[in-house]
């Protein structure tokens, strides 16, 4: 079934470029001049993925992203000319799943879109499993698409859920950044590893805030390994 993608950007040439590039790859694309118009359209008809510019007339992409997250877990890619750490963190913390800066190469955008839709399918496949995954004080419920720490639910995005599940399932070994990029994002091996590093940082923060004994340790120059914090029961 053809995937439907919504794009909001106040620059007509950018909207047209994205539409042409993605439709060439077989996607159906609808474009909007503002995020407010996109949000209204989404309320009437859901789509499979959203690409949002940050600086637009009316509500910013950040505000639209936050509003979308209140009603849906649709994948969201932030597209913007801004490239500061604060903007990246703001977009991710408000619920976006990826971040691309202008100017961008069309091949990079299509790669990100394909990867995003790929992990949505992966998330759906994981949800078909009824077997609980337990490690330390974390319990992952694939069929419910949730994870608990000491019986308290952990609020994860789809990508964070997939990442945690993958790391826990491979807890006996160090997992390389390249492996995570391929397994979770679907990126080629030559893609920058910032996506994995930032996703792991968010996971660590949420696990720490929940008081979990589970740790995600950096294996310098390679990747990450899941373990338990020193001094915790079971060490």
Name the band, by pLDDT with cuts 50, 70 and 90, for residue 28. Answer: very high
Q: Which of 2-6, 48-52, 127-131 is least confident?
A: 127-131
Residue 235 lies in a domain: no
Same domain for 146 and 190?
A: yes
Residue 234 lies in a domain: no
Rounded CA gap, 42 and 125, in Å?
Answer: 25
Rounded CA gap, 217 and 201, in Å?
Answer: 10
Q: Which of 124, 145, 180 is the last residue of a domain?
A: 124
Instruction: Determine phi and psi for 167, rounding to 5 degrees.
Output: -65, -40
What are 37-49's pLDDT values in tens digits?
999 999 999 999 9
Q: Which of 104, 124, 144 is the last residue of a domain?
A: 124
Residue 84 lies in a domain: yes
Indicate the SS3 state at residue 186. Answer: coil
Q: Is the pLDDT of residue 178 over 70?
A: yes
Same domain for 120 and 19?
A: yes
Same domain for 102 and 202?
A: no
Domain harbouring 208, CATH code: 1.10.10.10
Q: Is the pLDDT of residue 188 over 60?
A: no
Name the band, by pLDDT with cuts 50, 70 and 90, for residue 102. Answer: confident
- Residue range(s) defining the domain that contains residue 57: 4-124
Q: How many C-alpha atoms does 191 have within 13 Å on its Cβ side?
A: 23
* Contact assessment for residue 93 and residue 129, using Cβ atoms and an 8 Å cutoff: no
The total number of structural domains that make up the chain: 2
Whether pTM > 0.75 for this model: the answer is no
Q: What is the pLDDT of residue 108?
A: 84
Same domain for 117 and 12?
A: yes
Same domain for 164 and 148?
A: yes
Domain harbouring 10, CATH code: 3.40.50.2300
């Amino acid at each position: 079934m053809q995937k439907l993608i919504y794009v909001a950007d106040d620059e007509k040439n950018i909207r047209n470029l994205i539409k042409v590039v993605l439709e060439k790859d077989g996607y159906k694309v609808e474009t909007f001049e503002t995020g407010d118009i996109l949000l209204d359209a989404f309320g009437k008809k859901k789509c499979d993925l959203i690409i949002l510019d940050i600086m637009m007339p009316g509500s910013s992409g950040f505000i639209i992203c936050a509003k979308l997250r209140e009603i849906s877990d649709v994948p969201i890619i932030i597209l913007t000319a801004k490239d500061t750490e604060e903007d990246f963190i703001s977009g991710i913390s408000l619920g976006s799943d990826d971040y691309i800066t202008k100017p961008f190469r069309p091949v990079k955008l299509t790669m990100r879109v394909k990867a995003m839709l790929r992990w949505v399918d992966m998330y759906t496949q994981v949800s078909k499993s009824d077997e609980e995954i337990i490690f330390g004080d974390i319990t992952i419920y694939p069929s419910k698409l949730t994870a608990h720490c000491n019986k308290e639910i952990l609020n994860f995005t789809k990508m964070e859920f997939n990442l945690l599940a993958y790391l826990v399932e491979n807890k006996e070994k160090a997992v390389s950044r390249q492996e995570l990029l391929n397994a979770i994002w679907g990126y080629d091996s030559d893609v920058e590893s910032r996506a994995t590093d930032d996703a792991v940082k968010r996971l660590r923060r949420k696990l720490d805030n929940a008081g979990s004994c589970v740790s995600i340790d950096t294996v310098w120059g390679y990747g990450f390994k899941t373990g338990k914090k020193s001094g915790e029961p079971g060490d």
